[in-house]
Structure 1
Amino acid sequence: MSALNPTVQAYGELQAAFDYYNRALFGGELPFCLITMQREKRTYGYFSARRFVHRQDKSMTDEIALNPSYFGVVPLLEILQTIVHEMAHAWQLHFGEPGRRGYHNTEWAEKMEAIGLMPSRTGKPGGAKTGEKMADYAIGGGLFMLATAELLTTDFRISWLDRFPPVQPGVASILAGMEGGEDEEDSELAGMLSPVMVGGRSNREKYRCPSCKVQVWGKPGLSLLCGFDECKAARFELVGQ
């Protein structure tokens, strides 16, 4: 068990990432914001302008929210990309012209590209650069990757991981790789994570693929087949049965 206060450690790491990328990618121009963790469904994070107001002096601050549900099952690079993606929204609010609510416009897309993240509606090369719901991918040799490479030469990490990530094909694949991989630490960690169906586990049962050991929660009486090629449509079994 870590001797550090979990709240201080978890939020301190996120603040450290914000401070680092603010210096490395935004010239230290971004004002402070309130970083929160929110389990918003089907999103890694979001930016909310002037979301909080101070009770005494009535000053306002923006929010950058990150979804901790994915911290244990996506690469650290993706968590850092999410932070910088939302920081680009903060930059546009304070130094540019944001689009209508929820829309990622050309100015935002150009800033993202300038700091080394390629906006893409699909999250892959060739995707539209503007739109309502946008992903991105790191540009090889770009500023983000260079800055991140430098960050990862330090002892920076995201220490606290949600043990109950949401069930998605990508998450299941990552967990299967962790459990079957050569890294002993990853394999042990995977055994401590229990993917759950979005919406909670009330009146649900746990099922496990007998081949890759991926686990999911679902309503009683389901007949599930594993979709991984190597499992050859193995039928999920009730855990404990």
Structure 2
Amino acid sequence: MIATNLHGSVAPTRETYEELQVAYDHFNEQLFGGTLPSCLITLQREKRTFGYFSPARFASLTGTTTDEIALNPTYFAVVPIVETLQTLAHEMVHLWQEHLGKPGRGRYHNDEWASKMESIGLMPSSTGQPGGKRTGDMMADYAITGGRFLGACEALLTGSFKLSWYDRFPSEEHVRIGAQSQATRIEGIQGTTVPMSSNQALASAIRPGGNVRNPAALQTSGTESGHIQSPNNSNRIKYTCGGCKSISVWGKPRISLICGVCKSAFIST
């Protein structure tokens, strides 16, 4: 039986983690030949990281252990879903190396890890952009055009797969990172636009740079249900590239922005 909330919809916890498990299983089959063991996927707001892998982090009542792959939900609304899936695949390579390879010392991403990343269609890069270092302690990546990862993404995203829930309060830094994502430059597949700029309902709910609800600042909406909302005190407005149309950022009123892709001016929307 599928758990639902009082309104009859699927419970957000179940919905979120079932979606992430679907993505894990899909990539395990398509990119790793089904060789990876199961793990526990969690959501963690670690600063300055999209995600991480922690071997044998959890233990059960029977004494068995399982690895953890953590994803940072703060980025979900401000980076393309392809980049969120890249993070999952990136950490799955660490899991592969833990069980079937030889991990580097500490946090070091070694040559074996980098070669496996390339084999599944992700180019390791210390900057997340072309030209970055291939190995190191702090590593990002970008999708290889025509590679296996994008093929697996295309198969997943043309189906019914989606991410249903998003953090409403990304920082301004997260928004800037999303606008600069290499994934926004990929053509021909779904999931390469920033969710908060491609979905109007989500865009209306997101408050970049805002604070999590403060009980002292709440006011009632005046409806019969007594539903309460926090006012928007972020003093930020949305700007969209006048040329690309697909790139949006949030910033203070009256700032001047130029798109690094097409060199057009951003327009407040």
Flag whether TM exceeds 0.5 (same fold): yes
Given the alignment, which residue of 81, 102, 109 partners 2:107?
Answer: 102
Given the alignment, which residue of 195, 201, 210 partners 1:188?
Answer: 201
Q: In the alignment, residue 113 of structure 2 is paired with which amino acid? A: W
Given the alignment, which residue of 146, 151, 156 partners 2:156?
Answer: 151
Q: Secondary structure at the match of 2:172?
A: coil
User: How much does 1:206 deviate?
Assistant: 2.5
Matched, 1:166 2:179: no
Distance 1:179 1:84 in 2: 19
Asked if the contact 2:39/2:66 (under 8 Å) is kept, the reply is yes
Given the alignment, which residue of 49, 56, 80 partners 1:50?
Answer: 56
Distance 1:93 1:173, change over 3 A: closer
Distance 1:208 1:179, change over 3 A: farther
Q: In the alignment, residue 99 of structure 2 is paired with which amino acid? A: H
Q: Secondary structure at the match of 1:206?
A: coil
Distance 1:139 1:14 in 2: 22
Asked if the contact 2:108/2:135 (under 8 Å) is kept, the reply is yes
User: How much does 1:84 deviate?
Assistant: 0.3
User: How much does 1:128 deviate?
Assistant: 0.8
Q: In the alignment, residue 7 of structure 1 is paired with which amino acid? A: T
User: How much does 1:126 deviate?
Assistant: 1.5
Asked if the contact 1:194/1:215 (under 8 Å) is kept, the reply is no
Give the aligned partner of residue 95 of structure 2.
90
Q: In the alignment, residue 139 of structure 2 is paired with which amino acid? A: M
Q: TM-score scaled by structure 2?
A: 0.72
- Identity fraction in percent: 49
Q: Secondary structure at the match of 2:25?
A: helix
Given the alignment, which residue of 2, 13, 16 partners 2:19?
Answer: 13
Asked if the contact 1:178/1:187 (under 8 Å) is kept, the reply is no
Asked if the contact 1:43/1:67 (under 8 Å) is kept, the reply is yes
Distance 1:215 1:178, change over 3 A: same
Q: In the alignment, residue 143 of structure 1 is paired with which amino acid? A: R
Distance 1:225 1:172, change over 3 A: farther
Give the aligned partner of residue 206 of structure 1.
234
Q: Secondary structure at the match of 2:55?
A: strand
User: How much does 1:147 deviate?
Assistant: 1.2
- Map 1:116-127 onto structure 2 (within 5 A): 116-127=121-132
User: How much does 1:50 deviate?
Assistant: 0.8
Distance 1:87 1:150 in 2: 18
Given the alignment, which residue of 33, 41, 44 partners 2:47?
Answer: 41
Distance 1:97 1:190 in 2: 43
Please identify runs of 4+ aligned residues in structure 1 that moved more than 2 A.
171-174, 177-181, 199-203, 208-216, 223-227, 229-232
Distance 1:43 1:51 in 2: 18
Asked if the contact 1:179/1:191 (under 8 Å) is kept, the reply is no
Distance 2:39 2:80 in 1: 24
Asked if the contact 2:168/2:206 (under 8 Å) is kept, the reply is yes
Q: In the alignment, residue 31 of structure 1 is paired with which amino acid? A: P
Matched, 1:226 2:255: yes
Give the aligned partner of residue 245 of structure 2.
none
User: How much does 1:224 deviate?
Assistant: 8.0
Distance 1:2 1:36, change over 3 A: farther
Given the alignment, which residue of 115, 121, 130 partners 2:135?
Answer: 130
Q: Secondary structure at the match of 2:235?
A: strand
Corresponding residue pairs, total: 220
Q: TM-score scaled by structure 1?
A: 0.80
